[in-house]
Chain A
Amino acid sequence: MTPSNAFLAALLQRGLQAVIVAVIVGVVSFAMMQALPGDAAYRIAAGRYGYDMMDAAAADAVRAELGLDRPWFAQLVDWLSALAQFDLGRSLVYGTPVIDEISTQLGYSLLLAGGAVLTSLMIAIPIGIAAGLKPGGWLDRLTLAFSVFLRAIPAFALGVVLVLVFAVQLNLFPVAGFRGPEHLVLPSLTLGLGLAAVSNRVVRDAVAQAMASEWQLFSRTKGLSARLTVLRHVVRNAALPVVTYVGVQMAYLIEGVVIVETVFAWPGIGHALVHAIFGRDIAMVQGTALTLGLIYVALNLLVDLACRGIDPRTRTA
């Protein structure tokens, strides 16, 4: 198989996977929302009108407006047929098109996630390499202790501490909101530190393993300097598990984004998803879950491609 054919095959495979994920995520999230206790019309009315204006009459009005008394399969079929036409419907609570909400919020969330991953790599790679070059050294032990400490702090507490130090005391960055790049720093750092706490250890292990390998010794024996050995061979070999791990970190990122977005008043998709679940906004939940599912697929594709680029063996095999 030529490289370009293999590339197309991977793309096709992931494309098929995307369609399957879309249908399954949509159906499963619909089923889960149906299974929640409580009357959806009451919950939606509560989300819309707030406790000062919400009452049984408002719930009845919502039920009639949205046709919530129709059988569940009719509602699911409606959603699936609309989805086939790339229509995600309107938010049951806010009345705005789901696609509008998601496209705004997803942009903010991706920005935050990107900032977090970038921050984590900027921290994890240098520290991990340094620690991995001398396993068991003082830096290795110190970063291990620090990593455990950071991973153990909830993102919420870490965020508040960072705000107290960098925003309130030092007045370097804003507390919350999203007006400019400076607003991205503290939320990215909050998430990035949590990510780096684990990924620096992954880098360290990969580097330590590479350094202990026979080919490393061979490369030194054939006359490459220590620096060139690390740059040409160790980094490349160690990169594989690290790139794969960054993909896996998506799960932590989604969980972290929900909390960090709330703390920093960031208009992202995680925060919106939680609100949609509380408000029984089925259309929003389905749309958001679908988007996140597809991002997972896309991310897996990117990781595949990156690994293919890093590891020449997969290309010829």
Chain B
Amino acid sequence: MNWGIWGLVLISAFIQVASVQWHRDLLQVWQQQSALKLTLTQENTRLVLEKSALTAPGRIDKIARQQMKMHAPQSTRVLQP
């Protein structure tokens, strides 16, 4: 009987150690994933801002007028059949 109890105590002790280790491993993974998420969010925001800057109406307007010599159509329209 005593041996059985001792056995259960030992098993529970091992399980506790293993669960603590498991928790640490999971925490480590969580930390890594959080850091990765943060990095990806930052990269995503950077790309969103970059895209936004590149497609800004002001920039397109400037390029169209200055580099491509485009202008808004006036009262005369040219139809291209």
The answer to whether A and B come from one shared complex is: no
Interface residues of A (CB under 8 A from B): none
Interface residues of B (CB under 8 A from A): none
